[in-house]
Amino acid sequence: MKIFSYILLLIAIIFGIGYFLLFTQSGNDIIKPYLSSLISQKTAQKVAINKLTLKTDHINTSLNINDSIDINIDGTINLFKKSFDLNYTAKADKIKTKDKTINANINIAGKIEGNIKDIKIKGNGEALSSPIDYSLQIVNSEIENINLQTKKAKIEELLAVIGKKEYIKGDFDLLINIPKFNPNSLKGKTSLKIYKSILNSQALKEDFKIEIPKNSFLQGDVISNLKGNHIETSANIESSFGYIKVKNAKTDISQKEIKIDSDYLILAKLKSLQKIANLPLRGEVKAKGDIHIKGKDFQISAISNSFGGESYLKMDGKRMNINIKEALIEKILYILGENPLSKGKIDLQANINISPLTGETKIETKEAVLNQALIEKEFKIKLPKESSYKLSAFIKFLKDKIDLKANLKSFIDMKIYNGIYDLKTQIFKAKYEAYIKDLSTLQPIINKKLKGDMKIEGEITKTKKDLIIDGKSQKFGGNIDFVIKNGKLKLQAKHINVVKILDMALYPKIADGVADIEASYDLISQRGEAFIKIERAKILRNTLTDMIAAFTKYDFTKEKFNETTLKSIINKEHVTFNLLARSEHSYISFKNGKIDTKNETIKAPFDILIKKKDIKGSIEGRINKPKIKINTSKYLKEKAINKVEKLLEKKFGKEGEKNDKIEKIKGILELFKK
């Protein structure tokens, strides 16, 4: 009996202590810090119970969460029935997290009633600068009858509460109605309406390196229906960049990893994506396809006719496959912000690993042709009549670089190899080999008909600002080096055979020698200048040399000129030149000579001195068959007068009375010598 009495006494003491701690104000004050610590550990939040009054039929308490939210609870309780009827309020003008303090007005009041097996919670007030009304029920530890409605809540405040930067600023409505929340038996509906909201371009640029236009917006609706163990969602989102429509998006939540399958339709307004892509995009691209997501893995497929033909895309987080068939080149150029400088069709196949960027792409054109009229209008360059081409290219992605090989078949056949595009510096470099089978095809471009062929090799460099093409050739028995920078040509040639140049230019072979050339030429304006120095120059037999030989009895073709220079100014099809050739005893000078390369005509005044025998005149007419005019020559005048004098003496010299007349005639002839 004593042992039983001790047990009863111990129970009485424990009950008394428990009663003291739980149902007296002194006891409540003692357990407050312990309860605060316990709740803080369980919720991972800083919870401080400021007031606690617990009686057998009543409770009144106030607590603070993270030094920001004040909560008051007051109401009746029935310990035997395990029931309660409580009123509560929650107030805050700011919310504190570990990292920051957020301004957020919260003023909510409501009731918690029922028993431990059936708890009903409801409330209303203001949160996120918006009116809020909500209710829910917890039956046997399962949540049911969830209803929440808020109108024009602030998106930026919601982002701040969940610890995100203000990437978007605007309002939203949210409606939630879920009668059953059991994952295996979901029922209900949610509706989200986003009013026209402005994207924070500065924050997106800082955090994601995405540059978008200022005042870019987003708006739309998302509706979800909860059915059993899956959720069906439809969405219609519009923005500055286009819109996306989602139908029949099914989310399976019965598995360990959430699975989503969806169809979609997307239209992109490319002009708004210019800054993101760093390209002058324009127009629209429309695509449809489906999305499959399982846990962290996803797969997207798309089909589009926006480029002409058919374009297919498949992509997951690791790999991307693109297959484009017979897309229109002019449409692609338009989308890229370029004028339709070419027309035709293009095929593309790409298999690319996304991270790191590796993979291969093949490109081939079909029925491709250059737009002659537009190229002439924009660049003032006339193309050959036959301006069709065929391009095949092979691109290899190598992490931060892109390798390119290409073959172009046209009036110029070109092979590009060792092409490297550096994604970091955005600089492209490649070597090339070009072969022009028939130089006459270049006549519309250079305003001059040529003959023969030419091989060139060199390097292409493309930076953000510049396009540079350098090349070299061993044509005409010497070395030719040139650089074209943004359409401006600089050329140097060493030891070039003059006869071969004249032959290529379809000009008469009137001279021979070894030439060094320096030239500059603007391919756009078709203006430039050239300086030519010829060593061991020699005049070949032609109409002019035959005429000189007839007058001077001297074979001018035997003369060797140690110093010969030619300076020319090019203004489209008009060429002005000055030529000076010197030898030990002679010289040839052409000043302000003019050549019309379009009409193949020449007009060039000349001044020739051969061993003190002078001839002045001009060459005019067709370049291949010009006319030579002798305007003046002191040597020829003297020679003609001497002949006349000899004829007079021969005829009248024997008659003395006529000698006076002869002398008078000789006096008149002397005037022509001056």
List, in order, residues 6 or more apart from 646 with CB less than 8 Å away. Answer: none
Question: Does position 226 have pLDDT exceeding 90, yes or no?
Answer: no
Q: How confident is the model at residue 667 (pLDDT cuts 50, 70, 90)?
A: very low
The answer to whether 113 touches 81, Cβ cutoff 8 Å, is no
Segment 240-256 shows an average pLDDT of 82
* Partners of 416 in the β-ladder: 406, 432
Taking 60 as the threshold, does the pLDDT of residue 583 lie above it?
Answer: yes
Query: In this predicted structure, which of 25-39, 284-298, 503-517 has the lowest mean pLDDT?
Result: 25-39
Distance in angstroms (rounded) separating the CA atoms of residues 139 and 71: 24
C-beta separation of 238 from 246 below 8 A = no
Quickly state the pLDDT bin for 82 (edges 50, 70, 90): confident
Residues for the chain: how many in total? 674
Q: Greatest CA separation found in the chain? A: 197
Percent of the chain with pLDDT over 70: 86
DSSP sequence for 192-258: EEEEEEEE-HHHHHHHH-----TT-EEEEEEEEEEEETEEEEEEEEEETTEEEEEEEEEEE-SSSS-
Please tell me the predicted confidence (pLDDT) of residue 470: 93
pLDDT of residue 19: 44
* Residue 351, both tokens: 């298999």
More confident residue, 364 or 247: 364
Which pLDDT belongs to residue 193? 95
**Confidence category of residue 613, pLDDT binned at 50, 70, 90:** confident
* pLDDT class of 531 with cuts at 50, 70, 90: very high
Q: Identify whether the C-beta of residue 104 lies closer than 8 Å to the C-beta of residue 128.
A: yes
> Residues 606-629: what's their mean pLDDT?
82
User: Taking a C-beta distance cutoff of 8 angstroms, is the pair 478, 493 a contact?
Assistant: yes
Mean pLDDT, the chain, integer? 81
pLDDT at 12: 44
pLDDT one-digit tens code per residue, 155-165: 888 887 777 78
State the pLDDT at residue 27.
64
pLDDT (0 to 100) of residue 632: 64
> What pLDDT score was predicted for residue 183?
66
Position 616 scores a pLDDT of: 82
- Mean pLDDT, residues 106-134: 88
Q: How far apart are CA 326 and CA 611, in angstroms?
A: 73
When mean pLDDT is compared across 309-323, 627-641, 658-672, the lowest value belongs to: 658-672
Output DSSP code: residue 116. T
Distance CA 336, CA 283 (A): 9
Decide which of 274 and 97 is more confident. 274
Q: Between 159 and 8, where is the model more confident?
A: 159
How open is the CA angle 55-61-66, to the nearest 5 degrees? Answer: 150
Give 177's pLDDT tier (boundaries 50, 70, 90).
very high
**pLDDT greater at residue 664 or residue 452:** 452
Q: How far is CA 667 from the centre of its chain?
A: 86
Taking residues 581-588, what's their average pLDDT? 83
| Residues sharing a CB contact under 8 Å with residue 592, sequence separation 6 or more, in sequence order | 576, 578, 605
| Residue 7 pLDDT | 41
Read off φ and ψ for residue 29, nearest 5 degrees.
Answer: -65, -30
- In angstroms, the CA 195 to CA 220 distance is 7
| Structure-block tokens of residue 297 | 């893995």
Taking residue 587's Cβ as centre, other Cβ atoms within 10 Å add up to: 16
Q: And the tokens for 497?
A: 């055979």
Question: What three-state secondary structure class fits 381?
Answer: coil
374, pLDDT greater than 90: no
Candidate from 37-51, 209-223, 484-498 with smallest mean pLDDT: 37-51
Q: Tens digit of pLDDT for each residue in 402-424? A: 899 999 998 889 999 999 988 88
Q: Is 545 helix (H, G, I), strand (E, B) or coil?
A: helix
DSSP letter assigned to residue 507: -
How confident is the model over 25-41, as pLDDT tens digits?
666 677 777 777 777 78
What is the spatial distance between Cα 209 and Cα 211, in angstroms, rounded to a whole number? 6
The answer, yes or no, to whether residue 670 has pLDDT greater than 90, is no
DSSP line for 304-352? E-TTSSEEEEEEESSEEEEEEEEEEHHHHHHHTT----EEEEEEEEEEE
Residue 336 CB contacts under 8 Å (≥ 6 apart), including other chains: 279, 280, 281
* pLDDT tens column, 123-166: 998 887 889 999 988 888 788 889 999 999 888 888 877 777 88
Q: How confident is the model at residue 328 (pLDDT cuts 50, 70, 90)?
A: very high
Give me the pLDDT at residue 380, please: 67
Q: Check if the beta carbon of residue 270 is closer than 8 Å to that of residue 291.
A: no
More confidently predicted of 172 and 26 = 172
Least confident of 18-27, 307-316, 392-401, 506-515: 18-27
Per domain, the residue ranges of the chain are 153-296, 479-632, 639-673
Check whether 168 has a pLDDT greater than 70. Answer: yes
Three state DSSP letters for 26-89 = HHHHHHHHHHHHHHHHHHCCCEEEEEEEECCCEEEEEEEECCCEEEEEEEEEECCCCEEEEEEE
Query: What does residue 478 show for φ and ψ, rounded to 5 degrees?
Result: -135, -160
**Of residues 381 and 609, more confidently modeled:** 609
Nearest CA-CA partner of 358 in 402, 399, 404: 399
Confidence category of residue 105, pLDDT binned at 50, 70, 90: confident
The burial of 97, by beta-carbon neighbours within 10 Å (0-12 exposed, 13-18 middle, 19 or more buried), is given as: middle
**Which position has the higher pLDDT, 19 or 455?**
455
pLDDT per position as a tens digit, 46-68: 888 888 787 778 888 888 888 88
C-alpha distances out from residue 279 to 158, 328, 443, 485, Å: 34, 19, 35, 22
Question: Is the predicted pLDDT of residue 490 greater than 60, yes or no?
Answer: yes
Please indicate whether residue 387 or residue 122 has the higher confidence score (pLDDT): 122
Residue 655 has pLDDT above 60, yes or no: no
| Residues in a beta bridge with 70 | 64, 91
Of 409, 505, 495, nearest to 452 by C-alpha is 505
Res 446 pLDDT > 50 = yes
663 pLDDT above the threshold of 60: no
- How far is the CA of 504 from the CAs of 73, 475, 499, 591, in angstroms? 102, 10, 9, 25
What φ, ψ does residue 666 adopt, rounded to 5°? Answer: -65, -35
Residue 16 φ then ψ, to 5°: -65, -45
Rounded alpha-carbon distances, angstroms, from residue 240 to 217, 236, 284, 466: 6, 14, 12, 32
DSSP result, 573-595: TEEEEEEEEE-SSEEEEEEEEEE
* Residues 6+ positions from 602 with CB-CB distance below 8 Å: 593, 594, 595, 596, 619, 620, 621, 622, 623, 626
Task: Name the residue with tokens 């924009």.
Answer: 378
The whole-number average pLDDT for the span 460-470 is: 89
Q: Give the pLDDT band (50/70/90) at residue 567.
A: very high
| CB neighbours of residue 548 within 10 Å | 23
Does the structure show a pLDDT above 60 at 659?
A: no
Angle at 435 between CA 431 and CA 439, to 5 degrees: 135
Q: What is the per-residue pLDDT for 194?
A: 93
Alpha carbons 508 and 138: distance in angstroms, whole number:
105
